[in-house]
Amino acid sequence: MRFIGPITIAPTIILMGMALSSVTAKLCAKQWWIAIMTTCLLGLFSQYMKKVRIPCAKSHPETKKKKYTGMFQVYAVMLAILVSIVVCAILTVSGALPSSPDEWGYEARTDTRLRSVEEARWFQMPYPGQFGQIRFNVAGIVGMLMAVIPSVLESIGDYHACARICGATPPPVHAINRGIFLEGIGCVLAGLWGTGVGLTSYSDNIAAIGITKIGSRRVTQVGAGLVVLMGMFGKFGALIGLIPAPVIGGLMLAVMGMISTIGISNLQVVDMNSSRNLFIVGVSLFTGIVVPPWVSAHPDSIELGKWFHTFTVLT
């Protein structure tokens, strides 16, 4: 960890936000006006209405004074989603959005996946081996390992970004080791339960902390418990899936941009007058921008054996 400092963390965090730029563009392109509206609503609630205080129904037990809460900042993401969904629902019912899947704007409708809600089970307890017998394959293990290593590096960047956005000191080595260890345990449990993806830190959650200004561990633990419980109710997951793609794209437009700026802020403690530091940051960023699109466009240009084919499928 002594070789990992702000100059190595900054490009990693910046590229984490930029890596999803193409995905964000595809989601926003489904209906640009809805995506832009969602981004503007998120900015309005989190930046311009964050000082608006809403009185609570319950007063302080000792002073008997009314309590006030910054609802617009705390629930900025949720409010932006709800308002955007309501607008999409109104446009769907009124017929303003096209009903043909081939027309632009169809993905902004709120009734495109209603059948999934009807077919989803009310309650389902996950259990190991529910999708078939558990098997171990050497090629699969090696391929997944090649995907885990960059994920670990990304997690280290996430930890530093989260600490910075919370105003905390950089995480010590033992805390980072503990985090990586628990991510590994989570991946093992996810594999046993038949989940096709690994568990890792997620940049969107860090951006949510920056927007809502809530970084309490208790809030995170309660939220995790609620997600576990809600994951057992299939109807709830299907309802979440009804969120229109442009709404998700609008959120990612703001969230991924914020992740990149968190990485840029790490450079304020780096001597950017040094040509060495400029070279390291510049080459790191440009390599991260140039190489992935080329590899995606020329998947057959690199041949390292059968294990590499597994890696290309996973990535």
Residue 176 Cα distances to 154, 157, 180, angstroms? 12, 10, 6
| Residues composing the chain | 315
- Per-residue pLDDT, averaged over 122-132, amounts to 77
pLDDT band at 196 (very low <50, low <70, confident <90, very high): low
0.75 exceeded by pTM: no
Backbone phi, psi, residue 158, to 5°: -65, -40
Q: How far apart are CA 36 and CA 39, in angstroms?
A: 5
Please report, to the nearest 10 degrees, the dihedral formed by the alpha carbons of residues 185, 187, 191, 196 taken in order: 170
Question: What does the block give as tokens for 207?
Answer: 């951006």
Q: How far apart are CA 30 and CA 80, in angstroms?
A: 18
Q: How far apart are CA 74 and CA 45, in angstroms?
A: 9
For the chain, percent of residues with pLDDT exceeding 70: 87
Query: What are the tens digits of pLDDT across the range 71-85?
Result: 777 788 888 999 999
Establish how many alpha carbons lie within 13 A of residue 192's alpha carbon, considering only the half-sphere containing its beta carbon: 8
**How much is the pLDDT for 1?**
58
Per DSSP, 97 falls in state S
Q: How far apart are CA 201 and CA 179, in angstroms?
A: 9
pLDDT band at 86 (very low <50, low <70, confident <90, very high): very high
Query: What are the tens digits of pLDDT across the range 87-125?
Result: 999 998 888 888 888 888 888 888 888 888 788 788 877
Residue-wise burial string across 91-115, b where 16 or more C-beta atoms lie within 10 A, e elsewhere: bbeeeebeeeeeeebbbbbbebeee
Question: What does the block give as tokens for 43?
Answer: 């900015």
